[in-house]
């Protein structure tokens, strides 16, 4: 579940008066702090892995997408098509990790 989804759930709990504003603020802060620390994937490393060994799916293993990494390895990057799509996603900053968080260009 993404951080945004969890914050929406917290907001619903606050609206329904299940939690207080202080609890909401505290939980929201924890979620935002954890989302910045867990997305420690380096864009440059991801790009280099995708560019040089992307056909083997190594970049997908790097971001925690083990299942699709294995599929890319077996199909040689979907005969190159899947590799090209992933390379485009990485270059544009739209590629996501296993938690659905985008890996931004820095």
Domain shared by 76 and 53, yes or no: yes
Q: Mean pLDDT across the stretch 24-37?
A: 76
Both tokens of 78, joined, read: 């979907």
What's the chain's average pLDDT?
Answer: 88
What is the number of structural domains in the chain? 2
Q: Of 4 and 39, which is predicted with more confidence?
A: 4
Domain shared by 58 and 34, yes or no: no
Largest separation between any pair of C-alpha atoms in the chain: 53
Give exposure, 70-85, as e/b (b: 16+ Cβ within 10 Å).
eebeeeebbeeebbee
- Inside any domain, residue 48: yes
Domain shared by 56 and 83, yes or no: yes
- Inside any domain, residue 10: yes
Residues near 92 by beta carbon (within 8 Å), at least 6 away in sequence: none
What pLDDT was estimated at residue 35?
A: 56
Residue numbers of the domain that contains 7 = 3-38
Q: Of 11 and 58, which is predicted with more confidence?
A: 58
What pLDDT was estimated at residue 37?
A: 44
- Inside any domain, residue 78: yes
Q: Of 14 and 81, which is predicted with more confidence?
A: 81
- Inside any domain, residue 51: yes
Q: Mean pLDDT across the stretch 24-38?
A: 73
pLDDT in tens, 53-94: 999 999 999 999 999 999 999 999 999 999 999 999 999 999
Residues near 89 by beta carbon (within 8 Å), at least 6 away in sequence: 95
pTM > 0.85: yes or no: no
- Inside any domain, residue 106: no
- Residue with tokens 């931004």, as numbered in its chain: 104
What pLDDT was estimated at residue 68?
A: 95
């Amino acid at each position: 579940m993404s951080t945004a989804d969890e914050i929406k759930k917290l907001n619903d709990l606050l609206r329904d008066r299940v939690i207080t504003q202080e609890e909401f603020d505290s939980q929201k802060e924890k979620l935002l702090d954890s989302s910045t620390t867990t997305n420690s994937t380096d864009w440059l490393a991801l790009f280099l892995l995708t560019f040089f060994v992307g056909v083997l799916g190594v970049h997908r293993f790097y971001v925690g997408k083990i299942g699709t990494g294995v599929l890319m390895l077996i199909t040689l990057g979907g005969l190159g098509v899947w590799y090209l799509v992933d390379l485009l996603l990485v270059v544009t900053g739209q590629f996501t990790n296993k938690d659905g968080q985008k890996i931004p260009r820095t």
